[in-house]
Amino acid sequence: MPASRFDRTADRYAACARARDWSGLVAWCEPQPGDRALDVAGGTGALAEALKGRIAEMTVADISEPLLAKVPAWAERVVARAEQLPFEDGSFDLITCVRSLHHIESPTRALDEMARVTAPGGRVVIEDFLADPDRATARRWERVERLRDPGHQRLLESGEARSRLLAAGFTVDAEESWVETMDTGDWIELAGCDQQLAAGIREAVGAPEFQITVGRARFRRPGG
């Protein structure tokens, strides 16, 4: 797999993930004792740790081996692209992808793969940052994102993941969105930017804080 900025910032990212309160997302996943779960682009496995004891099996897939090295030992680790998941159809009852779709080269293909490996009656839970509805603002922000992280692909538009999974035969269980306030300095530091680049990003953002919309949805495959 090609190297990513997460390979060199794995420790920083792991600390950030550990600091998050995962309880709300865990409840949203509706974990069941018999669930076979897959976290796509799951990084250090922080969600896997939060699901421990609530499900039967956990697999974390990511392209970054340094991130996967930090996944809890009880979970299976798989080096894999989200667009090419190395699993049989219907292998999992719960699939999650948390704040990662915007890093994936083809998010629509990744959603297709998540749909493919979901068992009848299974759930797919997606959480990610969303593009601004104003296209000019969205284009400007994409430039800032790529300045901070050249591996950034794009933020999905509101409803884009929903449309893809509905087309795959899923139904929508629940959706919500909210606005998060991010500290510009912390956001830059998490990406491991050097001093000169950090200064350029601060100038491009133009404020010590910024706001971004987060969307979350739970989809279900009929049957089961």
If you average pLDDT over every residue of the chain, what do you get? 95
Query: If you average pLDDT over residues 210-218, what whole number do you get?
Result: 98
Query: Which of 52, 48, 85 minimizes the C-alpha distance to 67?
Result: 48
Residue 105's pLDDT band (boundaries 50, 70, 90)?
A: very high
Query: If you average pLDDT over residues 42-65, what whole number do you get?
Result: 96
Q: What pLDDT score was predicted for residue 1?
A: 46
Whether the per-residue pLDDT at 67 is higher than 80: the answer is yes
Count CA within 13 A, CB hemisphere, residue 67. Answer: 29
- CB atoms under 10 Å from CB of 144, counted, come to 16
Q: How far is the C-alpha of 180 from the C-alpha of 207, rounded, in Å? A: 15
Domain ranges for the chain: 5-131+153-180+213-220
Amino acid at 184: T
Q: How many angstroms separate the Cα of 185 from the Cα of each of 26, 103, 104, 182?
A: 28, 20, 24, 9
- Domain boundaries 5-131+153-180+213-220, corresponding CATH code: 3.40.50.150
Dig out the tokens for 5 from the structure: 């900025």
Q: How far is the C-alpha of 13 from the C-alpha of 7, rounded, in Å? A: 10
Q: What pLDDT score was predicted for residue 182?
A: 97
